[in-house]
């Protein structure tokens, strides 16, 4: 039985090279070799994880990350059709995550990268953007989001995270979602203090912790 190691490496390398035509070419070659859609997506997801790591190390920059994400999004148009043709057996999402930069804060680059990486890892992500009202996070959890991710880049707005957690408790929803927090002024100590579940210093770290929490 074929292990498709060459195709997996080509997909990974194409993602890290971040050029959309190269990504699509690697996908088509993998499909032609008989690799199934779910395995192709997983290989691309591994590559996207490394793109995030390289970005955090200053080896790649935001346009490169966005280009890699665009390539994966474009490839998914074909791969989703392949998954449907396979009977949809492997299309089940790992979970639904709501992501947003908290009310009063308009910095969202890190949050956006984290959203992309979570999507690549198999999560359905509702990215609410920046300056998100507190109630909107609560409404998304009430609608079924099992993960609630909040980002803040200013010390004056990071307290909003605590407010949202309090609102989730008041609404009887706190036990139904895993709360993720991140951003420059946020620390593990602050995460513990406000009763959040996951703190990630980087988008890749957050994604890995969320994946680990899903597998428990």
Beta-sheet pairing, 96-101 with 124-127: parallel
Residues 206 and 162 in one domain: yes
Residues 150 and 205 in one domain: yes
Residues 122 and 178 in one domain: yes
User: Domain holding 69: CATH number?
Assistant: 1.10.1240.10
Residues 21 and 53 in one domain: yes
- The predicted-structure confidence for 41-92, as pLDDT tens digits, reads as follows 888 888 887 887 888 788 998 889 889 888 988 888 888 788 777 665 444 5
Residues 125 and 72 in one domain: no
User: Domain holding 137: CATH number?
Assistant: 3.40.50.280
Residues 32 and 110 in one domain: no
Residues 151 and 177 in one domain: yes
Residues 192 and 101 in one domain: yes
Residues 120 and 170 in one domain: yes
For 131: left if phi > 0, alpha if psi spans -120 to 50, otherwise beta; the answer is left
For tokens 């997996």, name the residue: 8
- The predicted-structure confidence for 124-168, as pLDDT tens digits, reads as follows 899 999 999 999 999 999 999 999 999 998 999 999 999 999 999
Residues 197 and 164 in one domain: yes
Which three-class secondary structure state does DSSP give residue 199? strand
Q: Provide the domain limits for residue 30.
A: 5-85
90 lies in some domain: no
Structure tokens at 5: 């190691």
Q: Is the pTM of this model over 0.85?
A: no
For 14: left if phi > 0, alpha if psi spans -120 to 50, otherwise beta; the answer is alpha
Question: Residue 61: CA atoms inside 13 Å, Cβ hemisphere, count?
Answer: 1
Indicate the number of domains in the chain. Answer: 2
């Amino acid at each position: 039985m074929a292990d498709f190691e060459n195709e997996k490496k080509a997909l990974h390398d194409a993602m890290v090279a971040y050029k959309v035509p190269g990504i699509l070419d690697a996908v088509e070659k993998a499909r032609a070799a008989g690799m199934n859609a779910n395995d192709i997506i997983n290989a691309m997801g591994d590559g996207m994880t490394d793109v995030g790591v390289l970005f955090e190390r200053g080896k790649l920059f935001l346009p490169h990350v966005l280009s890699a994400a665009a390539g994966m999004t474009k490839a998914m148009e074909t791969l989703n059709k392949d998954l449907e043709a396979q009977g949809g057996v492997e299309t089940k999402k790992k979970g639904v995550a709501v992501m947003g930069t908290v009310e009063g804060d308009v910095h969202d680059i890190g949050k956006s990268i984290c959203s992309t990486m979570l999507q690549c890892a198999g999560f359905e992500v509702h990215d609410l953007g920046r300056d998100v009202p507190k109630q909107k996070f609560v409404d998304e959890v009430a609608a079924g989001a099992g993960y609630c991710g909040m980002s803040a880049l200013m010390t004056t707005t990071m307290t909003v995270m605590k407010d949202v957690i309090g609102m989730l408790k008041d609404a009887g929803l706190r036990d139904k979602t895993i709360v993720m927090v991140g951003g420059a002024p946020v620390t593990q100590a602050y995460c513990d203090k406000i009763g959040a579940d996951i703190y990630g210093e980087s988008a890749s770290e957050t994604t890995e912790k969320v994946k680990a929490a899903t597998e428990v």
